[in-house]
Chains A and B, each alone.
Chain A
Amino acid sequence: MTEPVLALEGLTVRFGSRRVVEDLTLRIGPGEVLGLAGESGSGKSTAALAILGDLGPGGRIEAGSLRFEGRELRGLAEREWRALRGAGIALVGQEPMAALNPSMRVGAQLAEVPRLHGRASRAEARAAARRALEELRLPDPDRMLAAYPHQLSGGQLQRIVLAMALMAEPRLLILDEPTTALDVTVEAEIMALLRGIRRTRGTAMLFIGHDLALMAGICDRLAVLYAGRLAEAGPVAQIFERARHPYTQALLAALPRIYAARRPPAPLPGSQPLPQDRPPGCAFAPRCTHARRGLCDRDPVPLETVALDAVVRCLRWREIDGAPEAAPALPGPDIGGPILEVEGLTRRFGSGRGTVHALQEASFTAFEGETLAIVGESGCGKSTLARLLMGLERADAGTIRLRGVEVQDRLAGRRPRDLTAAMQMVFQNPSDTLNPAIPAGRQVMRALELFQGGLPARTLREGLADLLGLVRLSPALAQRMPRALSGGQRQRVGIARALAGDPAVLVADEPVSALDASVQAAVIGTLLELQRTRRATLLFISHDLALVRQIADRVMVLYLGRIMEIGPAHRIFGALCHPYTRALLDAAPRPDPGAPPPSPLSGERPSALTPPSGCPFHGRCPRRAELPETLCEDRLPPLAEVAPGHRIRCHLPPERLRF
């Protein structure tokens, strides 16, 4: 057997009195990509830092061994670590900006690498930097080399950081959620690059992430971490086909699947315990549907080898069979009349360098009881639309009619109480949606007080308990300060607060994008259930197409402030769609190791400051060559109806947009 590039043996890391990583055993062979999956707080980043010898003052390796190419790294001096980082092991993190010096040109920073590690001459170093950028298919490398980091987009920066890491020719590349901060389309691009690097260079990689669908596309083997311990590890195909650990099974069931039946992802109740309150016995027991009293909650569960190269930490894996029950399919929506009508809504932001057209002439209608998803890349105007609807900003033109009443000229606070209560919003950021200085329950109570004005305190308290029950929170949590709640719990409190006035329209701006997959499924489930039982309209803003596919009745696609397409979900995902929608679909990762890799969309997204003439998508559109000469550049296509309720903004005739 060949020597592994990296071998961890019973690695235990502790921060103060808390064991963050316990008994971690992993090996990465030459040219192999190992995925380390886990939700936030499971210890995956700590493991990466331990491998890089960069735990910081509070942390230390308590037990175990850490071998890189056969050499024990535990107890290495700081100087030796420094020599190893970069040349032997390189890290690409979540935030590309953090890895670059903001006041130095990109070229100079890249050229430093060969000069540090290989004593190359200045000219050689520059040439190497250029070659590295070309290898990563960055357009116009000379311009990039001369640019400062802040002049580049997130995707470009991430590629530059990757180029920098690769220039040192490391034997192991650690990727810590390298695409979390990026759009789906850019993410697909980076993933394609990583697959290319792996093919051509054979660099071993440790890919850390929480998105199993994304990891399915690149990893050979997968290790699932739960509460600091390995829950399961094995070849990726085997795990996707037949996960043995109940936690892995739940994670897989919680994954939205883009080409699956229309049903919400299956939720996993509860949340991961903090290091200090991990239960004795199996750490997953409190959330495990297969847990047996007196068995699972007694002694720590050992890691068991279950097949060639596959291990699982579960006492009952032999008896547990297959995946957990999938959530029941969503019933068909009970759609009523129009409730929210938007006509020609436009919002421009003037800035020093020009005007950003955040939203241009958006017109659509939302109906009672439906889920209308709004999708698009970052900066396409999704949040702007939400803020305009809510009256947080004033529109430059256009009308918004809620229940037939024009509200576009009334900012929030100026709208009559019944209309305010009729449309409420759920916010994106769980750490910001609740006021950190006020107990969670009081914030919901205040909304009740406003919307159900004049009720006695007793009734209000009952109302609060009801609302918390609706979003499946124990009433005891009402006393807690928001920082004592988990992200998922905070989002639920935010939903309860929005529900206080019994809204007819619920605007949710990426309500789950900051949450872990299993928690995400639970929050989505809550939202959908409420929506169905109360017959509210849900405007669901998201960039996750797989999720949208599973829950939306209709979909609206925005690009650079324009509606490109709007129509029933089953048609858009199944019959025909706009070339841009198609590109988004193709870029979405699929939770299936056997599937063909997602194909990225080429070209950079144009800046909203200089929107292209004609069809806004023409610079990146793979189909524009099919149309005569400069039609797409010159004329903005109309949002034309291709079937009842399905409108597409493209010059191509509908029959050529079929799948």
Chain B
Amino acid sequence: MEELGWLGILGRMALRFVPVWAGLALILGLGWRARARLGPAGRLFGSWAGLSGLTLVLFWVLTALFADLIATHDPLAQLSGLKNAVPGSPAPGSSYPVYLLGGDSLARDCFSRMVVGARRVLAIAPAATLCALAVGMLLGLPAGFVGGRLDAALSFLANLVLAFPVILLFYLLVTPEIRQTALPRTVAAVLFLMPLLFLVLLWHSRFRTRAGPWALGLAAILGPGLWIWAGLALDADPSGLWRLEPGLLTVFVAVVFVNAPTAFRIVRGLALDLRHRDYVAAARTRGEGPWFIMLWEILPNARGPLIVDACLRVGYTTILLGTLGFFGLGVSPESPDWGSTINDGRRFLAIYPHAAVVPALALLSLVLGLNLLADALRTEARHD
């Protein structure tokens, strides 16, 4: 088979992405039809930035979802002779006749690595963001709502973490001496408990007056919750379904740790602003507890800015993961995540740029999409 020209490469790639196109068409089509009923989210369809942001983000989400269908090769398999092969090189005797975007320095398929890498990135970044937001909400809401000494103490803590140099933190976390201690596990155990605690408080404050739903809901939250928590944080899931490799755990802890203080600040500011509203006073005068007020009266009104922040934060976290991968941190060396791949590719950047450029472009477009989306959501929220 001949080496493919750029037109051929693009054509074949477009063909590989068919499941993504189909998904995009379906989701955007349905969204467009229902846009009048979707509120602010529906109005995204009216703005150029919102629509392109949504499309970019959806593209990568769907790619992650259908990665197995799209990838042409096993992302870890090496084919002899295809070391640093240029895009479009034929790959005889393998699952697909060409290396669409060339091979890397270990003769693995760049295209497949990019596609499978999306799955990695899109699994970790949103999960870490949610975790950080849960921490931010659990500490930020009381800080803003109660104020006073509690606020002073928590804000001091947040500033302390923020003042800690991020790079130093990462280097510390890679240091084998530290990795061997129980520190990452302990921190992970606490951090992962936060989303669970958040859900429990949410349910409890709402249904404490109704014994039936209260018990049912708590059981539904705590059962699977504790199971997942034990698996991920303590590596103690007997079934082995939920586990995180130690490297990934460290990365996760690092990412949540640096994100939590800024999330805290945002939530605290919003709570501080909303706590003097009449509806909060109304909730207090009918005897609601503080957690009900924070989670069910204040939080829903803060969701606009929080969603915008979450979008930006996922983007930021994606870059951070890239940076961490670049430091060779965490994820196993073979991992196809974009950061590690860029790092691997950089040594031959001058001669064979494609191995680094492909994941770099992928990273760029995802973050761009998230930022566009956040911007559009913010504009919409302002119009509301």
Which A residues form the contact surface with B (CB < 8 A)?
387, 390-392, 412-413, 415, 417, 420-421, 424-425, 427-429, 432-438, 443, 446-447, 449-451, 453-454, 494, 497, 500-501
Residue of A427, A428, A497, A500 with most partner-chain B CB within 10 A = A427
User: Is B285 an interface position by the 8 A CB rule?
Assistant: yes
Residues of B within 8 A of A425 (CB): 281-282, 285
| Cα–Cα distance between A233 and B17 once the two chains are bound (Å) | 69
Q: A391-B284, A424-B286, A434-B279 are in contact. List 20 more A-B contacts (CB 8 A).
A: A387-B281, A390-B281, A390-B285, A392-B281, A392-B285, A412-B287, A413-B287, A413-B288, A413-B289, A417-B287, A420-B287, A425-B282, A425-B285, A427-B278, A432-B277, A435-B279, A435-B297, A435-B301, A450-B286, A501-B286
A412 B278 Cβ-Cβ under 8 A = no
B270-299 vs A, Cβ < 8 Å mask (1 yes, 0 no): 000000011101101111111000001100
B300 A437 Cβ-Cβ under 8 A = yes
Closest A residue to B299 by beta carbon equals A437
Residues of B within 8 A of A443 (CB): 279
B65-97 vs A, Cβ < 8 Å mask (1 yes, 0 no): 000000000000000000000000000000000
| Cα–Cα distance between A424 and B287 once the two chains are bound (Å) | 10
User: Is B303 an interface position by the 8 A CB rule?
Assistant: yes
User: Is B210 an interface position by the 8 A CB rule?
Assistant: yes
User: Is B209 an interface position by the 8 A CB rule?
Assistant: yes
Residue of B211, B287, B288, B301 with most partner-chain A CB within 10 A = B287
Residues of A within 8 A of B278 (CB): 427-429, 432-433
| Cα–Cα distance between A501 and B277 once the two chains are bound (Å) | 22
Residues of A within 8 A of B282 (CB): 425, 427, 433, 494, 497
B301 A420 Cβ-Cβ under 8 A = no
- A450 interface neighbour in B211, B288, B296, B300, Cβ under 8 Å: B288
A-B contact pairs, 5 of them (CB 8 A): A415-B287, A425-B285, A433-B278, A436-B279, A454-B211
A450 B279 Cβ-Cβ under 8 A = no
Given contacts A434-B279, A437-B303, contact A424 B285 (CB under 8 A): yes
- B286 interface neighbour in A435, A438, A447, A454, Cβ under 8 Å: A447
Given contacts A437-B303, A449-B209, contact A420 B285 (CB under 8 A): yes
| Cα–Cα distance between A170 and B331 once the two chains are bound (Å) | 75
B300 A435 Cβ-Cβ under 8 A = yes
A454 B287 Cβ-Cβ under 8 A = no
| Cα–Cα distance between A501 and B287 once the two chains are bound (Å) | 11
Closest A residue to B290 by beta carbon equals A413
B209 A436 Cβ-Cβ under 8 A = no
Interface class of chain A by DSSP:
loop
| Cα–Cα distance between A166 and B301 once the two chains are bound (Å) | 44
A454 B300 Cβ-Cβ under 8 A = no
Which B residues form the contact surface with A (CB < 8 A)?
209-211, 277-279, 281-282, 284-290, 296-297, 300-301, 303
Residues of A within 8 A of B285 (CB): 390-392, 412, 420, 424-425
Residues of B within 8 A of A500 (CB): 286
Residues of B within 8 A of A415 (CB): 287
Number of A-B contacts (CB under 8 A): 71
Closest A residue to B284 by beta carbon equals A412
Residues of A within 8 A of B284 (CB): 390-392, 412-413
B286 A451 Cβ-Cβ under 8 A = yes
- Nearest chain B CB to A70 CB, angstrom units: 42
Residues of A within 8 A of B301 (CB): 435-437
| Cα–Cα distance between A413 and B286 once the two chains are bound (Å) | 7
Closest B residue to A482 by beta carbon equals B279
Residues of B within 8 A of A494 (CB): 282
B281 A427 Cβ-Cβ under 8 A = yes
| Cα–Cα distance between A427 and B211 once the two chains are bound (Å) | 31
| Cα–Cα distance between A497 and B284 once the two chains are bound (Å) | 13
Residues of B within 8 A of A390 (CB): 281, 284-285
- A454 interface neighbour in B210, B281, B296, B297, Cβ under 8 Å: B210
Residues of B within 8 A of A446 (CB): 286
- Nearest chain A CB to B225 CB, angstrom units: 26
| Cα–Cα distance between A69 and B210 once the two chains are bound (Å) | 71
- Nearest chain A CB to B283 CB, angstrom units: 8
Residues of A within 8 A of B286 (CB): 420-421, 424, 446-447, 450-451, 497, 500-501
Residues of A within 8 A of B288 (CB): 413, 450
Residues of B within 8 A of A429 (CB): 278
- Nearest chain A CB to B302 CB, angstrom units: 9
A453 B209 Cβ-Cβ under 8 A = yes
| Cα–Cα distance between A424 and B289 once the two chains are bound (Å) | 16
Closest B residue to A390 by beta carbon equals B285
Q: When A and B form their complex, which 4 residue pairs have the shortest distance between CB atoms, in order from nearest?
A: A437-B300, A427-B278, A432-B278, A435-B279
| Cα–Cα distance between A433 and B277 once the two chains are bound (Å) | 8
Closest B residue to A424 by beta carbon equals B285
- B287 interface neighbour in A387, A435, A450, Cβ under 8 Å: A450
Residues of B within 8 A of A391 (CB): 284-285
- Nearest chain A CB to B287 CB, angstrom units: 4
| Cα–Cα distance between A425 and B285 once the two chains are bound (Å) | 7
Closest B residue to A434 by beta carbon equals B279
- Nearest chain B CB to A299 CB, angstrom units: 32
| Cα–Cα distance between A416 and B209 once the two chains are bound (Å) | 14
Residues of A within 8 A of B303 (CB): 437
Residues of A within 8 A of B279 (CB): 432-436, 443
- Nearest chain A CB to B305 CB, angstrom units: 13
- Nearest chain A CB to B358 CB, angstrom units: 43
- Nearest chain A CB to B299 CB, angstrom units: 9
Residues of B within 8 A of A424 (CB): 285-286
- Nearest chain B CB to A16 CB, angstrom units: 14
Residues of A within 8 A of B277 (CB): 432
- Nearest chain B CB to A268 CB, angstrom units: 26
Residue of B277, B278, B281, B290 with most partner-chain A CB within 10 A = B278
| Cα–Cα distance between A417 and B208 once the two chains are bound (Å) | 14
Residues of B within 8 A of A432 (CB): 277-279
Closest B residue to A429 by beta carbon equals B278
- Nearest chain B CB to A390 CB, angstrom units: 5
| Cα–Cα distance between A451 and B277 once the two chains are bound (Å) | 22
Residues of A within 8 A of B296 (CB): 438
Closest B residue to A447 by beta carbon equals B286
Residue of A391, A392, A428, A446 with most partner-chain B CB within 10 A = A446
- Nearest chain B CB to A657 CB, angstrom units: 38
Closest B residue to A437 by beta carbon equals B300
A449 B287 Cβ-Cβ under 8 A = no
Residues of A within 8 A of B281 (CB): 387, 390, 392, 425, 427
| Cα–Cα distance between A424 and B286 once the two chains are bound (Å) | 7
| Cα–Cα distance between A387 and B297 once the two chains are bound (Å) | 19
Residues of B within 8 A of A449 (CB): 209-210
Residues of B within 8 A of A436 (CB): 279, 301
- Nearest chain A CB to B184 CB, angstrom units: 38
| Cα–Cα distance between A427 and B281 once the two chains are bound (Å) | 9
Closest B residue to A411 by beta carbon equals B284
Residue of B211, B279, B289, B296 with most partner-chain A CB within 10 A = B279
- Nearest chain A CB to B141 CB, angstrom units: 15
